[in-house]
Structure 1
Amino acid sequence: MSAELIAVYKDEQIIDLENAKVLGLSDGIKALKGSEPIFFDDSPLALEVIRHSCAHLLAQSLKALYPDAKFFVGPVVEEGFYYDFKTSSKISEEDLPKIEAKMKEFAKLKLAITKETLTREQALERFKGDELKHAVMSKISGDAFGVYKQGEFEDLCKGPHLPNTRFLNHFKLTKLAGAYLGGDENNEMLIRIYGIAFATKEGLKDYLFQIEEAKKRDHRKLGVELGLFSFDDEIGAGLPLWLPKGARLRKRIEDLLSKALLLRGYEPVKGPEILKSDVWKISGHYDNYKENMYFTTIDEQEYGIKPMNCVGHIKVYQSALHSYRDLPLRFYEYGVVHRHEKSGVLHGLLRVREFTQDDAHIFCSFEQIQSEVSAILDFTHKIMKAFDFSYEMELSTRPAKSIGDDKVWEKATNALKEALKEHHINYKIDEGGGAFYGPKIDIKITDALKRKWQCGTIQVDMNLPERFKLAFTNERNHAEQPVMIHRAILG
């Protein structure tokens, strides 16, 4: 079975056997020239297909055990798959073995997995009375809706999927949680069950062993055991308490970085933690980031608690006149910021509502972008090596919704590419994943579970300098707008 063809990869998408038929290819999947075959194994592309089908197997089993169950979405995610659903029955993690057993029953039936394409009208009628499926359809444009079927179960889906449930033998349901419909806390709470699946017994065994080992090194567990930090419900979720040992450790890291930053020409600055909302309106945060901010009123004037340090550093820049001889200017701050994160995404120190950023902003000319980014990459490598972090880089390019001239974007993006090339850094490209104001490089570290967390970032910003009318006097004695580079290494 390990050598069986289950799909192909072509034009940056996975096409399964059923979708090949829908495309009208008489020879099925083999007719797709210039495609990469995907075999049934533990390769990343194969696992995406396997885990997607396992999510449907989970939903089929839930429907058999809880007939009134209704399903929202069941995507593949980095750590496996999940399905969001609701039922009148009470379900806990103690029920997972029972659900898993039902999944194995259906897998053994060797049910063919087929696809049917419906019009919007047909799909609405097929899932009549199912408000969750109607919610899914409301977010999909067009008039073609895929429905995958296995046995008595069917689900709205675009694929890709395996051709038969017989492939699904090595899976495990890992946890149960709550999830708001569509991720909106104003909506109803659904049940979310997570799972993992592999093509081989060895793949599943190795993963489960890794999970158990990682639990021993979970930073939330070690933080308490080592007396570094804690959380208190009376204070609030996502607001860490730094204990004496943890505070001393933080200070040592900050002192280490400060010495290195001063040697590299950075100047320490410090901005206030609350700023008038007027300045957040100029920056665009008020219109685009307001839901993630906290506000207060002082003397009938609205203030916003800063979610980022950039505006304060801009005001430092504006406190004096500058010429080309002053550039680049490099400001750094261990800035405390607050962000309104939803409770469901809070995770130890990795996702919190208050945190300190190892933050810096560089004001430079356009011609200095490459050399400044190159220096940041060199510093990043030294810091990651000092902490023995495994990391990777990802370059994000211009998104569909963005500002600025095409040529300026191209030059800025090429400057980042050349800086990466200069340091012989292999990197991934996230096409269209950049910020609306400029391209960026994300620095992602890998934890004991092999999950990737964005730790640092390098962002070229041509928007804020324009919004705040920043300027320096160039060599021709004319006013010129500087470029702003946002930079954080340890997050």
Structure 2
Amino acid sequence: MNDIDHRVSGNKLDLFHQQEEGAGMVFWHPRGWELYRVLEDYVRARMRRAGFREIRTPQLLARSLWEKSGHWEKFGAAMYSLADAEEGRALCLKPSCPCHVQIFNQRVRSYRELPVRYSEFGACHRDEPSGSLEGLKRTRAFVQDDAHVFCTEAHIEAEVGRFCSLLRAAGLQFDVLEGEGAFYGPKLEFHLTDSRARSWQCGTIQLDFVLPERLDAEFVNERNERERPVMIHHAVLGSMERFIAMLLEHHEGWLPVWLAPEQVVVATISDANIAYAQQVMQALDEAGVRSVLDSRPERLEKIVDAREKQVPLLVVAGSRDERDRTISIRMRDGQQVTLSFADGVGHLRLAARQTRAHA
């Protein structure tokens, strides 16, 4: 395990931990869960703009549904299941794919409604062998930014193109791998490389002509005939846990400001400056900037601790700042700038919100 392994930074930055009583499961600490929610909100906003409606489906369903969908035959050995003693039937933990079909099937659909797009942050469980578990990269419980499109064959190119547009703009290429279509059908996979130069699948998009047939999905076409839709499975990031691991290793713990669990530490020079520091904190909170107050008496430790926690921005609140109504900002690279109160808050708001996509 090297120094930039996400398990090292996860412990160092107080983001998460794992323990024997929950092998392959994640205990998210406050700082780690903040990072998780920021990433989740970012994906949620992107999906909404792409025309997806977010849904929520049950976690535990009768095994008969998984048998009908084909999941039990293909993945049954890795699925968690239990008996419902009262109803005398077996239950299994999901993936979400068959559940999305159930929502689509709740009423008769017209071709005019297609494409229908659903998204869900779907919790998944897999009984992975203990030897294959590795931090956040391979777990027994994880969440996918799961999405499904129900459409006609005429929609396929546009739907896949929409998903891949940013990747194509970046000049990424893909290869055709015969026989690697896995369970549903042909697919595109997007892999990221970790700190040990190993490739991990993250995003994926896959065509499915099988599940709509198995679960009786249909719509009424322009000839007033019943027709099966094409189902497109896709995940932009894939496993949220795995993607966070890749982010931590890629940035060596120094996450971009917009992703950092705490974007600003507001540090006082003395107890006399606490009231002013709290004013700064309130202004930053109203501006949507994630900040924490460090009012301990030890001056040097505040700077050291902020750096050890890899917080990208430090605001020092001293008597001169209070007198002049200024905000003194120290950047990660050691550069410092002192701005008026309003300009300082505006500068930090801009830094906190600027993602690469918006730059």
- Counterpart position of 1:239: 25
Question: How far apart are the structure 2 equivalents of 1:425 and 1:225?
Answer: 34
Q: Report the equivalent of 2:275.
A: none
Aligned to 2:16: 229
Q: CA deviation at 1:424?
A: 6.0
Alignment counterpart, residue 351 of structure 1, candidates 121, 135, 138: 138
Aligned residues: 236
1:294 is aligned to 2:294:
no
Q: TM-score, normalised by structure 1?
A: 0.47
Task: Write out aligned runs for 1:430-441 (5 A).
Answer: 430-441=177-188
State the shift of 1:423 in Å.
Answer: 8.5
> RMSD in angstroms over aligned alpha carbons?
1.6
Describe how 1:50-199 pairs up with structure 2 within 5 A.
none
Match of 1:310? Answer: 97
TM-score of the superposed pair, with normalisation by structure 2: 0.64
- Contact kept? 2:78, 2:128, Cα under 8 Å: yes
1:483/1:440 CA distance change after superposition, 3 Å: same
User: Partners in 2 of 1:230 and 1:454 — Cα distance?
Assistant: 23
Equivalent in 249, 259, 271 of residue 45 of structure 2? 259
> More displaced, 430-439 or 277-286?
430-439
TM superposition outliers: structure 1 runs of 4+ over 4 Å: 422-425
- What pairs up with 1:376-395 in 2 under 5 angstroms? 376-378=163-165, 381=167
1:284-433 to structure 2, matched below 5 A, reads 284-298=70-84, 299=86, 300-306=88-94, 308-378=95-165, 381=167, 425-433=172-180
Is the contact between residue 184 and residue 206 of structure 2 (CA under 8 Å) also seen in structure 1? no
Report the alpha carbon displacement of residue 277 of structure 1 after superposing the two structures with TM: 0.6
- In structure 1, what residue type is equivalent to 2:136? L
Q: Which amino acid aligns with 2:227?
A: E
Q: Which amino acid aligns with 2:215?
A: F
Q: 1:220 to 1:423 in 2, by over 3 A?
A: closer
Native 8 Å contact 1:374 1:423 kept in 2: no
Q: 1:416-466 deviations in whole A, cap 9, x for unaligned? A: xxxx7x996421221211125310111101112221100121110000000
The counterpart of 1:462, out of the listed 209, 215, 219, is 209
2:296 paired residue number: none
Structure 1 regions of 5+ residues with no counterpart? 1-213, 382-419
CA contact (8 A) 2:188 2:206 kept: yes
> Identical aligned pairs, as a percentage?
41
C-alpha distance in 1, partners of 2:59/2:164?
Answer: 29
1:447 aligns with 2:194: yes
Q: Is the 8 A contact 2:192 2:200 kept in 1?
A: yes
Which gives a bigger RCO, structure 1 or 2 (Cα 8 Å, sep 6+)? Answer: 2
Residues 195-244 of structure 1, C-alpha deviation per residue, up to 9 Å, x if partnerless?
Answer: xxxxxxxxxxxxxxxxxxx811100111111111100212x210111111
Q: Cα deviations across residues 269-305 of structure 1 (Å, max 9, x unaligned)?
A: 1111101011011001111211010111122221001
Alpha-carbon distance change, 297 to 488 in structure 1, aligned in 2, over 3 angstroms: same
Which residues of structure 2 form unaligned runs of 5+? 239-359
Secondary structure at the counterpart of residue 430 of structure 1:
coil
- SS across alignment from 2:216: coil
Q: Distance in 2 between matches of 1:302 and 1:432?
A: 33
Q: Do 2:68 and 2:214's aligned partners in 1 also have CA atoms closer than 8 Å?
A: yes
Structure 2 SS opposite 1:459:
strand
Counterpart check, 1:273 vs 2:59: yes
Matched to 2:66, the amino acid is: W
